Amino acid sequence: MGGILQTLLSNLNYGTIFLLMLLESTVIPVPSEFVVTPASYHAAGGNLNFWLVILFATIGADCGATINYIAAYYLGRPVIYRFANSKWGKACMLNQKKVEKSEKYFDEHGMVATISGRLIPGIRHLISIPAGLAKMTFWKFLLYTTIGAGAWNIILAVLGLWLHSFVPEEQLENKISEYGEYIKFTIMAIVAIALIYFLIKWYINRQKSQIN
């Protein structure tokens, strides 16, 4: 599988972008920053279209997330846990603890977790599983997934455009790794601040309704 993925990553076009992002949103460990960012980097050089990169990446992410959602919706928690603990699950760097972590995040933050969870490393590709287990309405799930995945892909695509202005192609992989970590921590901080804001707002509104 590693050789196939490397071949796809080395030959990015709209089809491979779609396929790789579909895989990334299931349980196969494909790093999205090494798909969207290089594709955008090449778009800046005129080989691809910037907006089509984002579009195909987001559609791929939606399709991959939908596979997880449907599997969780119809198979249920015991089967999902059994797969996570199997040798196939371990080959995909998956285990029951990771699934439970995504469930806990979903339970704590509700449906908005489908948006914010798409921006959090370690949870983003699994957040569709608890959505399916909770029997979340599919069209809401798809809308929230599109918003979250689209936002993440835009961030990665902008990074690619920026890197094209000063990074030679042979140094691109190292620079993506370097700046990708900064982006992850920044996004996690933004998500945390946003969640705190909405929790405080919810609490204030609840107190007002109780007074009235």
Task: Assign 6 a pLDDT band (cuts: 50, 70, 90).
Answer: low
* pLDDT score of 1: 41
The whole-number average pLDDT for the span 67-83 is 92
pLDDT band at 124 (very low <50, low <70, confident <90, very high): confident
Asked if the model's pLDDT at residue 74 lies above 50, the reply is yes
Ordered DSSP codes for 65-111: HHHHHHHHHHH-HHHHHHHHTSHHHHHTT--HHHHHHHHHHHHHHGG
What is the DSSP-derived secondary structure letter of residue 165? T
Q: 3-7, 108-112, 164-168, 206-210: lowest mean pLDDT where?
A: 3-7
CA distance 53 to 50: 5
Which range in 60-69, 152-161, 203-212 is most confidently predicted, on average pLDDT? 60-69
Give the C-alpha distances (Å, rounded to integers) separating 110 from 66, 161, 174, 200, 208.
Answer: 18, 34, 36, 15, 22
What confidence score (pLDDT) does residue 51 get?
96
Residues of the chain with pLDDT > 90, as a percent, come to: 32
Q: What tens digit of pLDDT does each residue of 84-110 get?
A: 889 888 877 788 888 888 888 788 777
In this model, does residue 206 exceed pLDDT 90?
A: no
CA dist 212 and 195 (Å) reads: 26
Structure confidence at residue 58 (pLDDT): 96
The pLDDT score that the predictor gives to residue 63 is 96
What is the overall mean pLDDT for the chain?
A: 84
Q: What is the CA radius of gyration of the chain?
A: 18
Structure tokens at 75: 């198979």
Nearest Cα to Cα of residue 44 among 152, 141, 147, 165: 165
pLDDT at residue 195, as a whole number? 67
**Residue 75: its pLDDT value, please?**
92
Q: How confident is the model at residue 2, as a pLDDT?
A: 46
Residue pLDDT, tens place only, 166-201:
888 888 888 888 777 777 676 667 666 766 776 787
